[in-house]
Structure 1
Amino acid sequence: MRKFLSTSALCSAAACLLLPVAPAHAQEGGDEGLADIIVTAEKRPSVAQRTAIALTVVDAEALKRQGVGNVADLTTLTPSVNFATNGPSSIITIRGVSSRDTNQLGDPAVSISIDGFYLQRALGLNAALFDLERVEALRGPQGTLLGRNATGGALSIVSAKPLDHFAASATVEYGNYDTFNTQGFVNIPLAEGVKMRASFQTRDRDGYRDNAPGRDADDEHSKAARIHVQFDPTPEWTLLITGEYAQTNGAGPGLQAIPWRYIAGTSNVDYSKPPVPNAGKKFPTPPGQFLRTQTVNFRWNTSYDFGPASVTYLGGYREFQLDRLNGLGAPFGSARQNFSFDQQERPNSWNHEFRITSAQDQPLLWQAGLYHFSEKNSTQSLFADFPGSPGLMGPAKYLQIFVKPDLLLKSSAAFGQASYAVTDTLRLEAGLRYSKDNKHNLNATNLATNVNNYIATGAISYVSNPPTATEISSSKVTYHAAANLQWTPQNLLYVKYDTGYKAGGFTDLNPYGPENLTAYEIGSKNRFLGNTLQINASAFLYDYKNQQVQQQITLPSGGVGTGTVNAGKSKIYGADLDLIWQPSSSDRFDFYIGYLHARFKDFVVFSGGNQQLAGNRLQQAPDWTMNIGYEHTWDVGDGTLTARAQTHFESKSYFTFFNYESDKQSGYHRSDVTLTYRAPDDRWSLEAYVRNLENEPVLAYADVTGGTWGTYRYTYQAPRTFGARLTVNF
């Protein structure tokens, strides 16, 4: 079966790459068939089907139907995008490329932006996605236009902008786990050339897990609001000013700790899959855990059209606060039950981008720009115990104290990209970007005691390290080259070459170098059968060098630390096929299948001696991914009733580079159904939904190698949820 799937998928992808030789006779953008979607994946408006990038566009309707309110919800709609958590941090993986370095100066491998405003940190991403126009998920490195931290791809989140007329909407949702969500917006033209859109979202839900005596984890309690004000002083000049606020308060992820088993007759840990009590739905945790975040974002985007070219300046300021206290996953009821991590962070960041872009519809298209990002942060991290307490409360003993009062990350870049129409159908494209990064950590202090001695005697005896000052710089030129053949108005064939770069850095243990990725890709985008059938396909090969990987270890002092190292080489190749068929105005079928081969070629780690992990799979890189969906609409009176069913399948993957059975996510499928009634003129709609019909436990995190607590540790994605949503439009 596996051989059959492999052969079939690769043959299908290869066949689709040749499809442009068959002429099509559909009218582009007509009333019948599939609609065109305008995207800004290349920082200029373009039709998605004529944009030479492997991308998935999720429109506002699909976002509402899936109840997307955070990044975890979003990844269910974007093929080849995997989601994981590490405490408060979100980890996004595209085509097997991700970053597990969630430390204060770590960089993501997938660029995430909201309205062009770049989000550096993995913190706070899993909240407050609301009132959106669309989300663009770009697969493959985007190093020229989107920067150094796009080795795996990019998620571009586009919020709904002010309209020229009055509009308003309100949504109320209720579901199991006492889910009660609200969302709404109001759009008001304030004066000639001035319009405003204000929107909000609240999400309240009990925890998915039964964690008595602790608070039920994986709960959600968030509030968010956004105000856009757009000024159009002249037809050529536009200014958009945005203010945004988001707040979360809950228990945070539920970490299930299962005590290590040992190979009979030895002291070696058994890394086969352990029995999971209650399938991850019920497990005890100590009381007192919490996770609180607050985000304030002020940004702007202004552009002036001079005719032959336009000038754009966008930027803004983001202030983020994180406070959390969570157990580290020692066996409940053991002497280490209350070993915990107390973290405070205050990262504040600035974005600036200045860009000049040529006018559309001419043989030579070009753009050039300057970019600058800076982030200051101060952190306090406490490795603590609460002896004699039933949970994480009362007087604490601090086994390790990290204080980093002056963390700074700066990145500057200059970039340019151009394409030229050699003929009416052939366009050649090239671009480059120069990035320079600097990171420093000044006046950092670290006090640590020997954990084993503390457990044996209860005594605290700090080993004090003198204040440290660490600084590292790196730079890189990344390239893009492509040839795009628009064979017919409905058929595109492209080949391209891209390089990606992620800056080097350091942890409390060691510096590490930049990672680099070179990508080769061939793809095709097609419409057939009167604009009712869309078939897109791509095949790719990545040469991945010095990948930054992170592991958690015990320090010589007995404290807990993390270290990031560079893997030697990895090789990634694969293909994907994306199909949408709309045989009638009442029926729609969508299908995606992706094959991915992601393996380390050279990776030596230091764990009980040198281990060569060549041949192991990269983290969260399933060989096979598949999405299937079908929907049908009936006329009911003057309204409509739409039923949709969809399923997502992944083959096995691993959460650590060791590829132990105990950190494996077995192959699974997850299915959703929705039923939606829309009143005439879309005055109101009522939707009922069930998500994750199978209700099987799916991992969001697995770590099985930490010796300080001696457990296999797991967190999980959402179980089966169901509910109803009422929307009223004004």
Structure 2
Amino acid sequence: MPYRISDLPRPLIGVLTSSGLAALCGTAIAQATDESALEEVIVTAQKREQSLQDTPISIAVMGQQQLEIMGINSLGDLGEGAIPSFRVQPLGIASSNLVISIRGNSPSDASEVTRDPSVAIYLDGVYIGRSHALGMELADLQRIEVLRGPQGTLFGRNAVGGAVSLVSNKPSGELGIKQTFGAGRFDEFRSVTRIDLPEFAGIRSKIDFIHSERDGWVNNTQPGEADYTAYDKSGGRLSLHWPVSESVTLDYSYDLSDVETVQNYFQFYEDNGGAFSRERERMTRTRAPVTSLDPTSAEQQGHAATVSWTLSEQLEFKSISAYRTLEEENNNNFAGALYFNGLKLFSETDQEQFSQEFQLIGTNDNIEWVAGVFYFDEEVEKDTQNFFTLDMFGTQGLAPMTPITPPTTFDSLQRGDDVPPRFVDADAESTAVYGQVAWSATDEFQITAGLRYTEDERSGTRIEEGRDDFDLETDNTDYSLTFDYQWTEDVSTYAKWSTAYKTGGVNTGSVSLRPYDSEEAETFEIGLKSEFFDRRLRINAAAFTTEYDGMHLDFSDPDIPTIVDTINAEKTVDVDGFELEVTAVPFEGLTVGLSYTYLDGDMPRQPNPLDDGAERRFSLSQTPPHAGALSLDYSFAPASYGLLTAHLDVTSTDQYAYVQHGGFRLDGYTLFNARLSLADIRFGEHAGALKVSLWGRNLTDEEYVVYAFPVGGLPIAVPQAFGDPRTAGIDFTYEF
């Protein structure tokens, strides 16, 4: 029987965070006599290595061991809610393109190349401008840092929702090999290779390679065509670390990824047109043969060079230079779910970006400071063409539900003529200067102030039944102010005020191509960082309120849903919330992790410019009122045959809207995952060690939805896509 949060007397995590659990953990820890303690978590959120507990920021961290235990190999794997306030869902038209939200702020359409994201993604300090291939596998990560709330006075790119920093392991300079082979349901196969090479000519190097593939679990009944939800991903990374001198080091990396994914299959949650019945149970076969259906392919590569120069004991200079390219061929076939004769969206995107950042990091007596200059330049070309592949109602003279071969551009259900192609050429340039100063007024009290000034330019051309040009220039100044007080050695509180902005743009799917202005965010936050019982209980919490002025909203034409316009909200949007993270070692061998997020968003009705100004109901997408995660890790006593560990994690998510105008489809879910590992299996003193792991995901086979949206103004239909069913498998890892 599926477990749903709506079936529980209250949200699961609300029970787990009750005073009873705190008392239980406190009693168990107080009575324990072993010397187990939580490991110190080191982060670089403020551009210098600091303990998580000494960083007055709401931040969630997942280290390498935790990522491996939970089977998190990409940002997409965090979509189940392991970090509750950090939401990830696949974009409806391409599962390799991820829609990322922090604290309820996410882009309406992550595929739009003339729009900036709400959450900034950094790979080893390099800003990644497009989300089109974020579903790639990640190579040898040391940790993931999720900074919640407006960012800008410490990072290169401004972000209203937050920032995600992906930190990779550097080469060690010693020979080491780690190889993982894994297999699972739906013919899943995964191989991860890491080779650390001995230092040569003073240069340390490391090579990583990842390949993963899986068949689709929704069978396309058309022979010879792809199955929905299948994927094939490959990626590699070369890392070099060169200590040029005692004061200068150079890090260089080259990464390449090739991701092929077949979109999620959309079923009818509602069908107000009456052509189909409701499809509310998860389907494993298509309702009709779908042709043509090809994977979406996204290839990206990047070069990054970081120079660190220690000018003195108090001053460090850092330069981060990067060049990245992205090529995507997007193939999507909605098989009738949009009422457009099996609408197939085809697009090609070519993107190039260059970024340069200079940083000065200084320390002087009771002052720590950071100053930076950031430059970002992007060029994007995107060509789009709509095809129609299924004669749903016999309007093409064929039998209903007959594949149209070859696909046609003639749209008999919309305008009665050929749908023209769309060509977009867009350029973006951003320049910013930022700085932050932390002053320790006393040993206990610290004041931190930050400032950022940004100039953005966006220009381009759209050709679609004519030529339209756009040219936008914006600038903005953002601030941050934090007061941090250390009450005891292990307990501190902070109060923070910060602002950020997201530059305006145009929606290339609109008729008029009219521009929209910037979106601005202002957040007030208070937080607690604490540890107890000789660092065997850690409790961190934050409460915040955020106001968004001019939030970007998308409106669709009620008659032609493929026509979309973006405007700035006329009314202020408010989001209030609370975040709690608890980690405890009740007794030796057992670690308990608990995290919970409460979000309360107020989205006033807004007038629809495409429907004669009629007010439309909007929701904050990816904003569940309650969401939480619980993890249990137990290490058994070491034995002669190896070290046995067991892991269980539960993520629980309250109902929420998947898109801003998607209040027609809400649902909640609870997912259970587990892993049992036997490590340190040795075959000789110098032969390395083997680890064998059995794992399962979605153990209760919960039927949960990962994306849904309304079609038309009524709506005519509400399509929905389900998440993966229960999967299980085995991994073998050899390391020496």
State whether structure 2 residue 636 is matched by structure 1 residue 634: yes
1:156-305 counterparts in 2 under 5 A? Answer: 156-213=165-222, 215-257=226-268, 260-261=271-272, 275-284=278-287, 286-290=290-294, 291-305=296-310
| Code of the aligned partner of 1:656 | V
- CA distance in structure 2 between the aligned counterparts of 1:7 and 1:196, rounded to whole angstroms: 44
Identify the residue that residue 705 of structure 1 maps to in structure 2: 711
Counterpart selection for 2:693 from 687, 691, 702? 687
Matched, 1:586 2:589: yes
The residue correspondences of 1:37-76 to structure 2 (distance < 5 A) are 37-76=41-80
2: CA distance, partners of 1:174 / 1:659: 36
Cα distance change, pair 12–300 in 1 and its aligned pair in 2 (3 A): farther
Deviation at 1:604, TM superposition (A): 2.8
Q: What's the offset of the Cα at 1:309?
A: 0.7
Partner of 2:673: 672
**AA of the residue aligned to 1:68:** I
Q: Distance in 2 between matches of 1:283 and 1:161?
A: 46
Q: Following the alignment from structure 1 to structure 2, what is the Cα–Cα distance between the partners of residues 187 and 634?
A: 30
Are 1:70 and 1:128, in contact at CA under 8 Å, matched by a contact in 2?
yes
Distance in 2, Cα, partners of 1:500 & 1:208: 42
- The 8 Å contact of residues 11 and 654 in structure 2, kept in 1 or not, is answered as no
Check the 8 A contact 2:573/2:602 in 1, yes or no. Answer: yes
Match of 1:547 among 538, 545, 551: 551
AA of the residue aligned to 1:408: D
Change (3 A) 1:498 1:432: same
Secondary structure of 1:685's counterpart equals: strand
Runs of 4+ with deviation above 6 angstroms = 1-13
Residues 70-108 of structure 1: per-residue CA shift (max 9 Å, x gap): 211034432211122222221011111111132111111
Alpha carbons 1:142, 1:150 under 8 Å: kept: yes
1:100-111, aligned counterparts within 5 Å?
100-102=108-110, 103-111=112-120
CA contact (8 A) 2:78 2:88 kept: no
TM-score (norm 2): 0.87
Identity of counterpart residues, as a percentage? 23
Residues 42 and 52, structure 2, Cα contact 8 Å, conserved in 1: yes
Structure 1 counterpart SS, 2:77: helix
Q: Distance in 2 between matches of 1:715 and 1:475?
A: 39
Query: Distance between the aligned counterparts of 2:102 and 2:530, measured in 1?
Result: 23
Q: Deviations over 1:552-584 (max 9, x none)?
A: 4378xx693222122222111111211000123
Matches within 5 A, 1:424-435: 424-435=443-454
**Relative to structure 1, is the Cα distance of residues 339 and 594 closer, same or farther in structure 2, using a 3 angstrom cutoff?**
closer
RMSD (Å) for aligned C-alpha atoms:
3.0
1:99-155 alpha-carbon deviations (Å, 9 max, x no partner): 113211111101111111111112111112121111011111112222554211111
Q: Tell me which residue corresponds to 2:575.
A: 572
1:118 to 127, 141, 144: 127
Deviates more, 1:494-503 or 1:395-404: 395-404
Q: CA separation in 2, counterparts of 1:167 and 1:538?
A: 41
Indicate the residue corresponding to 1:450 in structure 2.
none
Q: 1:707 to 1:342 in 2, by over 3 A?
A: farther
Q: CA deviation at 1:628?
A: 1.1
Look up the SS of the partner of 2:419 in the other structure.
Answer: strand
Tell me what 2:392 maps to.
Answer: none
Following superposition, the deviation at residue 192 of structure 1 comes to 4.7
Corresponding residue for residue 719 of structure 1: 725
Structure 1 stretch displaced more, 513-522 or 633-642? 633-642
Q: How far off is 1:680 after superposition? A: 5.4
Where does the alignment leave 5 or more consecutive residues of structure 1 unmatched?
17-23, 264-268, 447-463
Structure-2 separation of matches of 1:84 and 1:516: 24
Residues 654 and 668 of structure 2 are in contact (CA less than 8 Å); yes or no, is this contact kept in structure 1?
Answer: yes
Q: Secondary structure at the match of 1:401?
A: coil
Q: Distance in 2 between matches of 1:409 and 1:683?
A: 50
1:520/1:540 contact within 8 Å kept: yes
Q: CA deviation at 1:418?
A: 0.6
For 1:49, what is the secondary structure of its paired residue?
helix
The answer to whether the 8 A contact 1:6-1:595 is kept is no
Aligned residues: 683
Q: CA deviation at 1:724?
A: 0.7
Equivalent residue, structure 2, for 1:455: none
Indicate how the Cα distance of structure 1 residues 368 and 711 shifts in structure 2: closer, same or farther if over 3 A, else same. Answer: same
Aligned to 1:416, which of 435, 452, 458?
435
Residue number in structure 1 paired with 2:460:
441
Change (3 A) 1:147 1:280: farther
Q: How far 1:530 sits from its partner (Å)?
A: 1.2
Aligned pair in 2 of structure 1 residues 228, 282: CA closer, same or farther (>3 Å)? same
Counterpart residue identity of residue 502, structure 2: K
Distance 1:701 1:395 in 2: 26
Which of 361, 372, 376 is the aligned partner of 1:373? 376
Consecutive unaligned residues of structure 2, counting only runs of 5 or more, are: 1-5, 23-28, 390-395, 411-417, 683-687
Matches within 5 A, 1:523-534: 523-534=527-538
